[in-house]
Amino acid sequence: MNNNEVRFFRDSRNKIAGYKTGKDSFKLLDDKLVFPKEMWYPRIQTNQNAGYIYHQPETIADGIATGNVKDSGLNNALLDEMMKKIIDGQYPNVHSVLIMKHGELFFEEYFYEYNRNKLHELRSATKSFVSALTGIAIDEKYIKSKEAHILDYFPEYTIANDLAAKQKITIENLLTNQSGLDCDVSNPKSAGNEVDMGKTDDWVKYTLELPMIDSAGGKGMYCSGNPITMGRIIEKASGQPLKHFAEQYLFKPLGIDNYIWNFEPTKTSLETFCQLYLTPREMAKFGQLYLNKGSWNGKQIISSEWVEQSLKKHSVVQGVNYGYLWWNKYLDADGVRYYSYGAQGNGGQKIYIFQNLDMVVVITGGNYNSHSPSDELIEKYILPSFKK
């Protein structure tokens, strides 16, 4: 994807034994591995003339109501065109597209080896779940308020660098990415480099010991150490692992029982980076929960006040308005600007809430560290379906 040269090398039997890229060599570990054909094609067509045929999403015992796209107000022709282009490979590495409108799932499509039951990594979209759990922890009185100072939760640490300034960092500063720490993913010279942090034995201590380059509440800087630290604060305040807290207060109330979340902020998590794995339908539930102001099937899971505060602008990160670990994004379609709230992650993971359209769009993908077509699909085929 990045146009890097890859050279394969062979062994004495003239069999492929590994490859080199740059200064790195990678040996083949198992020459008996068989990859499923579905990995390489968006859809394996048994009949090349069959084309795309829409099917209403199936109603299963997961609490999601479904409907037919003809009743949704969506333009069938545009969605058909989108599907044909994804299947033809014009939009590569799109793994799923789901659309909920008026609380019903009208559109649900999967590609490659993905399906309704297969978990998908969320990457940085996980951060918005940490935001939700923070609000719940405050609602449940585990955390006094968003104004609580974060160093109060880590008396066991002897913190280096600018201690007086760090004592002013609040929970809200972590949520808005305004901790003031030298941690900015868009700056390659930043001391809070994610890769460097990932190789350490304690990511939270690593983050808290970074130098301060701004005051708390100042410039918005995208820093993975902030939500990681927030996750640990929830654990310490509640006295239980983050995934158990999430299971009790978020996942079970939403009817989510198929997930993986190994939140262990040490070098043992270097490969997974403490991210959450969910099915796209469960991701859609989370978006609908926020669209419903924290309510799911008549039960208030997160306070409406916290949802409202989470989605409003508090800072600007990478030139985009930012809430509490939620992006405030707009997309332009047919000369109309549509505003959304987004949880998003590397590779094309998107949970977008369009409040004015009463709609949630979920897209997952595998375009890691490269351009993702997710926003383009929404701008060209989904949003233009509606009246201006």
In the chain, the largest separation of any two C-alpha atoms, in whole Å, equals: 69
CA 125 to chain CA centroid, Å, is 2
Same domain (yes/no): 44, 138:
no
| pLDDT of the residue at 301 | 98
> What is the C-alpha separation between 288 and 21, in angstroms, rounded?
43
Average pLDDT, the chain: 95
* Strand boundaries in the chain, DSSP class E: 7-10, 16-21, 24-27, 65-66, 94-101, 104-110, 120-121, 260-261, 276-278, 295-296, 299-300, 315-317, 320-322, 327-333, 336-345, 349-354, 359-365
Residue 2 lies in a domain: no
- Which of 20-34, 172-186, 238-252, 356-370 has the least mean pLDDT? 20-34
Nearest CA to 378 out of 339, 320, 326, 333 is that of 333
Q: Looking at the chain, how many residues does it have?
A: 388
- Domain CATH number, residue 112: 3.40.710.10
> What is the C-alpha separation between 251 and 302, in angstroms, rounded?
12
Same domain (yes/no): 63, 28:
no
| pLDDT of the residue at 94 | 98
Sign of CA dihedral 319, 321, 234, 156: positive
Same domain (yes/no): 157, 241:
yes
Same domain (yes/no): 197, 182:
yes
Show the domain range for 72. Answer: 39-118+289-385
Average pLDDT over residues 82-87: 96
| pLDDT of the residue at 34 | 86
| pLDDT of the residue at 380 | 96
Token duo for residue 101: 């409108």
Same domain (yes/no): 128, 255:
yes
Same domain (yes/no): 156, 265:
yes
Residue 284 lies in a domain: no
Same domain (yes/no): 188, 327:
no
Residue pLDDT, tens place only, 291-337: 999 999 999 999 999 999 999 999 999 999 999 999 999 999 989 99
Residue pLDDT, tens place only, 22-57: 889 999 988 788 889 999 999 987 776 678 999 999
Residue 283 lies in a domain: no
> What is the C-alpha separation between 76 and 70, in angstroms, rounded?
7
Residue 1 lies in a domain: no
| Contact yes or no for 229/204 (Cβ under 8 A) | yes
Percent of the chain with pLDDT over 70: 98
Same domain (yes/no): 134, 261:
yes
Nearest CA to 260 out of 284, 277, 285, 235 is that of 277
Token duo for residue 173: 């500063």
Residue pLDDT, tens place only, 95-104: 999 999 999 9
| pLDDT of the residue at 242 | 98
User: How would residue 249 be classed by pLDDT, with cut points 50, 70 and 90?
Assistant: very high
> What is the C-alpha separation between 127 and 290, in angstroms, rounded?
14
Same domain (yes/no): 298, 229:
no
User: How would residue 1 be classed by pLDDT, with cut points 50, 70 and 90?
Assistant: low
Percent of the chain with pLDDT over 90: 89
321's CB contacts (< 8 A; 6+ apart) are 313, 315, 327, 328, 329
DSSP secondary structure code for residue 245 in this structure: H
> What is the C-alpha separation between 122 and 325, in angstroms, rounded?
14
Residue pLDDT, tens place only, 149-199: 999 999 999 999 999 999 999 999 999 999 999 999 999 899 998 999 999
pLDDT at 268 exceeding the cut of 80: yes
> What is the C-alpha separation between 345 and 273, in angstroms, rounded?
12
The total of other beta-carbon atoms located within 10 Å of residue 328's CB is 18
Domain count for the chain: 3
